[in-house]
C-alpha cells in the first residue's frame, strides 16, 4: 500500500521538482520551517518504529530477541546441507545482529537522553562480544567450509552468493578460526579487550585539556571556556585570526595525556598481537596498503609552493615568528583565499537555504536517476529529537527505495560531526519482499529561526552533498544480501560516491538550479561560484599533503612494532611527509580518532578522491545531468554495494582499468597548480 501511495504522488513530485524556490515544495518546506510538534496522545511506536524501543529498557529486550534469533540461525546453518541457503542463513544471522547493533551504535552518540545512550552502549558491547565469539565458532565455520569446498554445489551459486560466502570466510580467518582452542580463546579475548580500548581512546580523544588561567596572557583568556581558575580548551581554534590564540590552543589541546598515550600503546600492541596470532605479519597486512603515500613526489612540489604563499601571508601580519607553524595552516590558507578571491561565507549563505539545497538535490537525482524525496510525517516516539526530518526515497518506476532520517541541526550535547549511519541494511527477505534500507545523516547546521530558514555556508553545502552521497549509495544498492549492502563495501571504495557529490556541489550548472536568495529570489551570480571554485584550489596541495601524512602515520603505527613511543614516530613521519615542524610536547596522535575506525586504512580517503575525480571528469563534467551516465553510475557502481570487487566497479564505470599512476595524476590534476586570480 505504501509503495502504491507514493507512486501515485509521483506526478506531484515531478511538478514540485520544476517549481521556483520562492514557493517551497513539501521537501523544501520540511527543512526551511520550524518543526511542528507531534500530537502527544499518539501511540509511541519506538525509535525508528521498533516497538521495544519506546524506552531505554527496550534495548535489553531487542538484544535478547536478537540473541535468541541468532541461536536459532546458528543451529540452522550448522545442520542444513551446504547450498545457497547456507549463505542466506549466515546473512540472516548477520542482519538480526546488525539491526540491533547498528541502531544502538547510533543512539549511543546521538540521543539527548543519557539513559538511552547508556542502554545503547551496553547493547553494543554485548552484541560486539557475541560477534567475536561467533567468528571463532568452529562448527559455524565448518558449515561454510563444507559449502566452499564442494565444487558441485559452488557451481550452482551465482557470483554474488559466492562472493558473500568468501567474505564471511574471511571474517573467520582474520579472527583465528584456524587456531587451536586456546589460541582461539585468546583471539576472542583480544578482540573483546580492543572493544574496551576503542571506547576509551575515542572518549579520551574528545575530552578538553585544562590549564591554570594564570598561565595564559590575560588578553586572550576570553577566547576560551573558563571554569573557575581553569581554562578549558576543547579544540584547536584553527580559524582564530589571533596567532597567540592559535598557538596556545594547539600546544594545550595537544599536550600529551599519559593515560591516553598508554591506551594507544596498548591498542596498537593488541592489534599487532591479534594480527600475528592469526597469521599476519602486522595489523596493516590485514588491509590494503596505501600506495598514495609511497609516491608523493608530484604533490610535494605543489605543497612547497603553498607553504611559500603561507609564509608570505604571515610576513604581512608582522608576527614575531615568521615561520609557518602547524597552527597556522588552516588560518593562513583561509586568509590567502580571502585575499585572492574575497570569499565571504556570509555573502553566499542567503542563496543556500537548507530547503533550497534539498530541493536542488531532489532535482539532481530526478534528472540523473529518476529518484526523488518525499517528506514524511514521523510518528510519536519514532524520533530521538523533534527537529529530525524523515524522507522517503522513491524511484519513478520501482517505487519506495528506503528512508533517510535527517538529523541536521545543532543542539546541546550533540556531537559536532558530519556522518552517515546505517540503521538497517537492504536485503531480499525469505518471503520475497525486499527489506528497505534505513539510514541517518547527521550534520551540525544552524536551525531555522522565525522567518529565517537554515542558511548554509559553502562548506556546509559541500558537506551536505557529501553525506547525501553516502545515503544514496545505501538507497540505490539493491543487493541480495545485507552483509554487502550499500556502504558495506571495501573501505577504499566507500567514500567514492560521497566525494563524487562534492564535484556536483561545485558546478554552477547544478547550483544554478536551486541557489536563489531566500528573500528576493535572485539567482546566485555565476562569478561568485567561479571565485569559490578557484579559491578551493588555493593551498589544496598542502591540504592533500596533510592527508598523505595522516595516511603514512596510520600505516607506520599499524606496521611492524617500532619499539619507541608513538610521539617519536609522529615526529619522524611528520618531518618526512608533511613539511611543517613537529611542536615539542604535543601529541596530535591522541586526537586522531580515525585510528579506531580506519586502522591501517586511512589511505582510502585519498584513493576514493582519486577515483571520484576520474569518474567526474570522464562521465559527468560534460553534462552533470546526463541520465545515461547516471544510469551507468547506478548500474556499475552503486547497485552492487560490496558484492563486487571495487576494481571491477571502477572498470565498468570508466570502461578501462586505471593504474596507480592514474590515481596519482587524478589527485595532481585536481590541485590545479596554476591558480590565477580572477578578474575583479
- Single out the residue of 564, 550, 558 nearest to residue 280, CA to CA: 558
Residues 6+ apart with CB under 8 A from 293: 548, 551, 552, 555, 577, 603, 606
CA distances from 199 to 187, 196, 475 (A): 19, 5, 30
Q: Which three cell numbers stand for residue 166?
A: 568468501
Write the DSSP assignment of 506-571 as a string of letters.
T-HHHHTTT-B-TTT-PBPPHHHHHHHHHHHHTTHHHHHHHHHHHHHHHHHHTSS--SS-HHHHHH
- Single out the residue of 331, 303, 309 nearest to residue 541, CA to CA: 303
CA distances from 381 to 39, 373, 419, 671 (A): 11, 22, 23, 47
β-strand partners of 376: 390
Identified catalytic residue from 126, 247, 467, 495: 467
- Asked if residues 445 and 454 have their Cβ atoms less than 8 Å apart, the reply is yes
Residues 6+ apart with CB under 8 A from 132: 175, 188, 191, 192, 195
Q: Which three cell numbers stand for residue 167?
A: 567474505
β-strand partners of 428: 434
- Single out the residue of 440, 467, 462, 472 nearest to residue 365, CA to CA: 472
CA distance 277 to 425: 32
- Asked if residues 87 and 161 have their Cβ atoms less than 8 Å apart, the reply is yes
Specify burial of residue 175 (Cβ count, 10 A radius: 0-12, 13-18, 19+).
Answer: buried
Three-class SS state of 288: coil
Q: Give CA torsion, residues 41, 43, 47, 50, to 10 deg.
A: 180
CA distances from 116 to 29, 265, 317, 387, 643 (A): 30, 31, 50, 18, 34
Any catalytic annotation for residue 572? no
CA angle 93, 95, 96 (to 5 degrees): 65
Three-class SS state of 379: coil
Give the residue numbers annotated as catalytic, written as ranges: 467
Amino acid at each position: 500500500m505504501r509503495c502504491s501511495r507514493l507512486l501515485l504522488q509521483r506526478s506531484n513530485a515531478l511538478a514540485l521538482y520544476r517549481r521556483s524556490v520562492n514557493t517551497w515544495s513539501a521537501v523544501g518546506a520540511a527543512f526551511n520551517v520550524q518543526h511542528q510538534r507531534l500530537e502527544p496522545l499518539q501511540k509511541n511506536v519506538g525509535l525508528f518504529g521498533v516497538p521495544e524501543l519506546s524506552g531505554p529498557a527496550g534495548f535489553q529486550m531487542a538484544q535478547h530477541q536478537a540473541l535468541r534469533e541468532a541461536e536459532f540461525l546458528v543451529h540452522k546453518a550448522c545442520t542444513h546441507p551446504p547450498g545457497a541457503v547456507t549463505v542466506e542463513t549466515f546473512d540472516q544471522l548477520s542482519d538480526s545482529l546488525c539491526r540491533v547493533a547498528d541502531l544502538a551504535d547510533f543512539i549511543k552518540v546521538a540521543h539527548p537522553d543519557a539513559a538511552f545512550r547508556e542502554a545503547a552502549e551496553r547493547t553494543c558491547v554485548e552484541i560486539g562480544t557475541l560477534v567475536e565469539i561467533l567468528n571463532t565458532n568452529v562448527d559455524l565455520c565448518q558449515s561454510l567450509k563444507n559449502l566452499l569446498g564442494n565444487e558441485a554445489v559452488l557451481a550452482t551459486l551465482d557470483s554474488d552468493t559466492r562472493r558473500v560466502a568468501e567474505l564471511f570466510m574471511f571474517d573467520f580467518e582474520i579472527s583465528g578460526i584456524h587456531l587451536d582452542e586456546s589460541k582461539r580463546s585468546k583471539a576472542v579475548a583480544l578482540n573483546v579487550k580492543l572493544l574496551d580500548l576503542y571506547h576509551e581512546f575515542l572518549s579520551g580523544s574528545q575530552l578538553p585539556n585544562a590549564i591554570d588561567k594564570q598561565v595564559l596572557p590575560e588578553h586572550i583568556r576570553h577566547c576560551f571556556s573558563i571554569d573557575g581558575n581553569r581554562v578549558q580548551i576543547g579544540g584547536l581554534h584553527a580559524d582564530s585570526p589571533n596567532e597567540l590564540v592559535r598557538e596556545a590552543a594547539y600546544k594545550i589541546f595537544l599536550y600529551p595525556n599519559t593515560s591516553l598515550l598508554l591506551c594507544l600503546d596498548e591498542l596498537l600492541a593488541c592489534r599487532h598481537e591479534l594480527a600475528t596470532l592469526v597469521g599476519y605479519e602486522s595489523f596493516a597486512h590485514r588491509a590494503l596498503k596505501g600506495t598514495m603515500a609511497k609516491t608523493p613526489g608530484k604533490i610535494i612540489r605543489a605543497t612547497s609552493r603553498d607553504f611559500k604563499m603561507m609564509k608570505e601571508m604571515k610576513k604581512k601580519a608582522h608576527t614575531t615568528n615568521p615561520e609557518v607553524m602547524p597552527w597556522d595552516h588552516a588560518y593562513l590558507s583561509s586568509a590567502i583565499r580571502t585575499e585572492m578571491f574575497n570569499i565571504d561565507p556570509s555573502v553566499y549563505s542567503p542563496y543556500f537555504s537548507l530547503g533550497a539545497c534539498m530541493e536542488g538535490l531532489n532535482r539532481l537525482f530526478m534528472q540523473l536517476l529518476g529518484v526523488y524525496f518525499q517528506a514524511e510525517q514521523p510518528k510519536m516516539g519514532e524520533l530521538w529529537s523533534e527537529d529530525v526530518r524523515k524522507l522517503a526515497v522513491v524511484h519513478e518506476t520501482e517505487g519506495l527505495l528506503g528512508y533517510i532520517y535527517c538529523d541536521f541541526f545543532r543542539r546541546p550535547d550533540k556531537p559536532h560531526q558530519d556522518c552517515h549511519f546505517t540503521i538497517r541494511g537492504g536485503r531480499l527477505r525469505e518471503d520475497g519482499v525486499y527489506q528497505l534500507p534505513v539510514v541517518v545523516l547527521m550534520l551540525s547546521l544552524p536551525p531555522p529561526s522565525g522567518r529565517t530558514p537554515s542558511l548554509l555556508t559553502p562548506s556546509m553545502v559541500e558537506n551536505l552533498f557529501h553525506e547525501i552521497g553516502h545515503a544514496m549509495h545505501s538507497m540505490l544498492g539493491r543487493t541480495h544480501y545485507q552483509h554487502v549492502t550499500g556502504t558495506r563495501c571495501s573501505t577504499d571504495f566507500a567514500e567514492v560516491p560521497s566525494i563524487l557529490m562534492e564535484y556536483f556541489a561545485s558546478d554552477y550548472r547544478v547550483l544554478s538550479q536551486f541557489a536563489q536568495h531566500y528573500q528576493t529570489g535572485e539567482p546566485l551570480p555565476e562569478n561568485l561560484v567561479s571565485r569559490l571554485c578557484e579559491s578551493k584550489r588555493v593551498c589544496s596541495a598542502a591540504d592533500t599533503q596533510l592527508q598523505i601524512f595522516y595516511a603514512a602515520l596510520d600505516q607506520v603505527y599499524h606496521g611492524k612494532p617500532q619499539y619507541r613511543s608513538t610521539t617519536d614516530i609522529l615526529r619522524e613521519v611528520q618531518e618526512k611527509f608533511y613539511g611543517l615542524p613537529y611542536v615539542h610536547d604535543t601529541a596530535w596522535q591522541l586526537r586522531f580518532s580515525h585510528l579506531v575506525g580506519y586502522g591501517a586504512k586511512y589511505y582510502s580517503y585519498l584513493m576514493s578522491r582519486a577515483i571520484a575525480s576520474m569518474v567526474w571528469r570522464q562521465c559527468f563534467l560534460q553534462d552533470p545531468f546526463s541520465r545515461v551516465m547516471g544510469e551507468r553510475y547506478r548500474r556499475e557502481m552503486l547497485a552492487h554495494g560490496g558484492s563486487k570487487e571495487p576494481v571491477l566497479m571502477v572498470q565498468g564505470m570508466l570502461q578501462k582499468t586505471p593504474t596507480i599512476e592514474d590515481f596519482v595524476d587524478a589527485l595532481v590534476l585536481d590541485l590545479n597548480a596554476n591558480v590565477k586570480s580572477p578578474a575583479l
